[in-house]
Structure 1
């Protein structure tokens, strides 16, 4: 679903903040934006993208937990770097898509929030 929406500038800005905010606050920023925007009738794009960012950051949080467990056998140290790099790249791609008004779906996010 990569169609371009007719979202307003504020809506796109909040969607961008949801994706980039995940880099710095994990799942907290996307959750706050989702809770604020879901009750607004004209905030459908930001709500959708905040929900997507929240699902992805929860998936990353789980991946970091698995990495922490795997540090016992040392592979977790390498995986921390891989998960961090994937998080960085995909959040930037999502923010760029959101700035263009396109819906973005992360490739392997667990859809916990529907």
Structure 2
């Protein structure tokens, strides 16, 4: 039987991931600290701790994929119209020397990747709040599109 304290701690485990907007890596540090210190005392806290950590790790993987797509796409768009000696010897770099029309595909891929990244960040906030509400009610909540790193 879950106590009110267990439900509150489970909810706080989810909400602690929002600390990433104030403290770098807070979305990993605080949930791990709360989960590891309380996981033996409550099955509910153990379940929710695993869920938020798996969700944050999954978002990290998805974010890295978006970055690994966006950086080469933008780099290709910016540097494809310049020769290597021109890049090295040029002391000034102007974006108006780029042939934007010839690089539409690379730019589109890069922009779509960045947009997907920001959509993930917006959805993340809402899903964390939903999970915290479910945890405070003593219900088990599983995040969508989550890779189970910790079982």
Q: TM-score range by the shorter chain?
A: 0.7 to 0.9
Alignment partner, residue 142 of structure 2: 105
Alignment partner, residue 57 of structure 1: 56
User: Following the alignment from structure 1 to structure 2, what is the Cα–Cα distance between the partners of residues 80 and 16?
Assistant: 25
Unmatched segments (≥5 aa) in structure 2: 20-25, 74-109
Identify which range, 64-73 or 78-87, moves more after superposition: 64-73
Cα deviations by residue, 1:39-86 (Å, 9 ceiling, x for unpaired): 32xx11111111111111110111111122122222321122111012
Alignment partner, residue 121 of structure 2: 84
- TM normalised by structure 2 equals 0.66
- Report the CA distance between 1:30 and its aligned residue: 1.8
- Report the CA distance between 1:23 and its aligned residue: 2.2
Alignment partner, residue 3 of structure 1: none
Unmatched segments (≥5 aa) in structure 1: 1-5
- Report the CA distance between 1:93 and its aligned residue: 0.7
Which has the higher Rg, Structure 1 or Structure 2? 2
- Report the CA distance between 1:18 and its aligned residue: 1.2
Instruction: Give every structure 1 segment of 4 or more consecutive aligned residues whose post-TM-superposition deviation is greater than 6 Å.
Output: none
Alignment partner, residue 39 of structure 1: 40
